[in-house]
Structure 1
Amino acid sequence: MAKFLLVVKSQDQPNVNTAVNVANGLRMMGAEDVRVVFLGPGITALDKKGKLSEIVSKNLDALRKNSVKVYACEMAMKNYNVSREELVHADEISRGADVIVKFANEGYTILTF
């Protein structure tokens, strides 16, 4: 079965929206596992202080229902001054590069937004 890691590095609203929709859609279409990592400027999509986080907030129930695991990059959090308490959601906080290497080694298809 297909396994996907979506890498969200964009602060662009259409890219973030597409990534969240694709994550949910892949699971609904039968993908075995779908994970999303927000890194670099993409971390702003998880920051409650910004308008971009509304996309994740609106889709949080669907992400949870579809068992899409969300990672926040700890380095991006530091670089963009986002604290754990300011995250709209994250199942895990890890270094983004570590997440990418781990799932690439496990055979996940990587999609970048």
Structure 2
Amino acid sequence: MAKYLILLTKDDKNTLEMALEFSKILKMSGAEDVKICFILAGIRALNKENEEFNLIISKHLGDMKNLNINIYACEKCMVKFNIPEEKLIYKDKIFSYEEMNRLVDQGYAIITF
């Protein structure tokens, strides 16, 4: 079965919406596992202080939880953009680059938005 790691690299509302929708479609169409990682400037979309992004994430969060799509926040990006863990609207896991290597070794395909 297919496994996907989606990397959200931009802090753009349309890109965020597309990435969240795409992750749900992959899972509903039979993917074994889908994870979405907020990385580089994309980490800003998880910042509680950004209301526009919070509305988009909140709209999809219930579906993503029901579909077991994990939301990862990049640890190094959180530091770079000064977003402490308590300011994240939601995350299943704090993500490291070592984790990315492990997932690739396990056969995850990487899709970048």
Q: What corresponds to 2:75 in structure 1? A: 74
8 Å CA contact retained: 1:44, 1:53: no
Deviation at 1:13, TM superposition (A): 1.3
Give CA-to-partner distance per residue, 1:31-78, whole Å, 9 cap, x none. 110001111100011111112232212111011000001110111111
Structure 1 residue matching 2:55: 3-state secondary structure = helix
Determine whether 1:108 maps to 2:104: no
User: Amino acid of the residue matched to residue 24 of structure 2?
Assistant: N
8 Å CA contact retained: 2:34, 2:69: yes
Gaps of 5+ in 2: none
8 Å CA contact retained: 1:45, 1:55: no
Structure 2 residue matching 1:37: 3-state secondary structure = strand
Gaps of 5+ in 1: none
Q: What corresponds to 2:87 in structure 1? A: 86
Q: Percent identity, please.
A: 34
Runs of 4+ in 1 over 6 A off after TM superposition: none
TM-score, length-scaled by structure 2:
0.93
Deviation at 1:99, TM superposition (A): 3.0
8 Å CA contact retained: 1:35, 1:70: yes
Q: What corresponds to 1:52 in structure 2? A: 53
CA RMSD of aligned residues (A): 1.1
Q: Within 5 A, what are the aligned runs for 1:2-81?
A: 2-50=2-50, 51-81=52-82
- Please give the alpha-carbon distance, in whole angstroms, between the structure 2 residues aligned to 1:99 and 1:6: 13
Deviation at 1:100, TM superposition (A): 2.2
User: Amino acid of the residue matched to residue 101 of structure 1?
Assistant: N
User: Amino acid of the residue matched to residue 86 of structure 1?
Assistant: K
8 Å CA contact retained: 2:5, 2:109: yes
- Please give the alpha-carbon distance, in whole angstroms, between the structure 2 residues aligned to 1:65 and 1:74: 25
Structure 2 residue matching 1:22: 3-state secondary structure = helix
8 Å CA contact retained: 1:24, 1:62: yes
8 Å CA contact retained: 1:5, 1:108: yes
TM-score, length-scaled by structure 1:
0.93
